[in-house]
């Protein structure tokens, strides 16, 4: 049976309902992961959980040790990864509280350690990243969202920015021209690193605010946190359906 890892983003620093078996502190060749890996049973299945930003939430998107996180999860036995990401909505359909299962990603981040294939190598490796998300894992998320009755989109382009600041309205306008539907700060290099480790990977994105210039109101952390309170509960229910 496949052992799934869940990477929790903003608002999901712990997985309610997880029956704890073990907490593993893993050192990697790339340093320490964001947090200890929580091993247990969720929805009747073996699950590994990792808080991307630490627990409590303390690591900014550009400072997450993505390499250590993915390496540690695979070392702990992960065979597939579901990432939960809080994002901003660019496309008109992506309103607050809407879910998206992206099918593509554009990377606007910079300066991050983004590959395992670096340093003193025997040979250069180029992964095929034409389709960054695993098709079967995406389909399972889509079926679970349908069953849960969530408002969602079964495809979309995730634009990954550097953070930790939010984007300007002009940057969002450019991203929209590029074809982005949602914007976040943690989608890359996480997805590419999973592919390098041959781990099936998919993203469950929750829209927690309209992107810059997409609403008249100022984007506030209070509004984002309110959207997270409701949305993360639904995300947990969706994850339970995927695993069960």
The reported pLDDT for the residue numbered 135 is: 98
> Is 181 in contact with 154 (CB distance < 8 Å)?
no
**pLDDT class for 221, splitting at 50, 70, 90?**
confident
115 is in an annotated binding site: no
The reported pLDDT for the residue numbered 244 is: 84
Which of 10-14, 42-46, 160-164, 177-181 is least confident?
Answer: 10-14
28 is in an annotated binding site: no
Residue-wise burial string across 197-206, b where 16 or more C-beta atoms lie within 10 A, e elsewhere: bebbbbbbbb
209 is in an annotated binding site: yes
216 is in an annotated binding site: no
Q: Domains plus CATH for the chain?
A: 4-113+132-243 (3.40.50.1580)
pLDDT tens readout for residues 139-161: 999 999 999 999 999 999 999 99
Residues in the chain: 244
132 is in an annotated binding site: no
């Amino acid at each position: 049976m496949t052992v799934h890892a869940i990477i929790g983003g903003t608002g999901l620093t712990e997985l309610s309902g997880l029956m704890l078996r073990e907490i593993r502190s893993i050192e990697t060749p790339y340093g320490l992961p964001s947090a200890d890996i929580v091993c247990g049973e969720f929805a009747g299945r073996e699950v590994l959980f990792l808080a991307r930003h630490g627990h409590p939430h303390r690591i900014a998107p550009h400072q997450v040790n993505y390499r250590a996180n993915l390496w540690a999860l695979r070392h702990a036995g992960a065979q597939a990864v579901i990432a939960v990401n809080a994002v901003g909505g660019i496309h008109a359909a992506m309103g607050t509280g809407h879910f998206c299962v992206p099918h593509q990603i554009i990377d606007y981040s910079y300066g991050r350690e983004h590959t395992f294939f670096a340093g003193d190598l025997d040979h250069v490796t180029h992964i095929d990243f034409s389709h960054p998300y695993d098709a079967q894992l995406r389909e399972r998320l889509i079926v679970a969202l349908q069953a849960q009755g969530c408002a969602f989109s079964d495809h979309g382009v995730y634009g990954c920015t550097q953070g930790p600041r939010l984007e300007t309205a002009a940057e969002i306008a450019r991203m929209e021209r590029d074809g982005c539907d949602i914007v976040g700060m943690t989608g890359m290099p996480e997805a590419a690193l999973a592919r390098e480790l041959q781990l099936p990977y998919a993203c469950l994105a929750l829209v927690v605010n309209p992107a810059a210039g997409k609403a008249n109101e100022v984007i506030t952390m209070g509004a984002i946190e309110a959207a997270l309170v409701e949305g993360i509960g639904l995300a947990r229910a969706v994850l339970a359906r995927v695993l069960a």
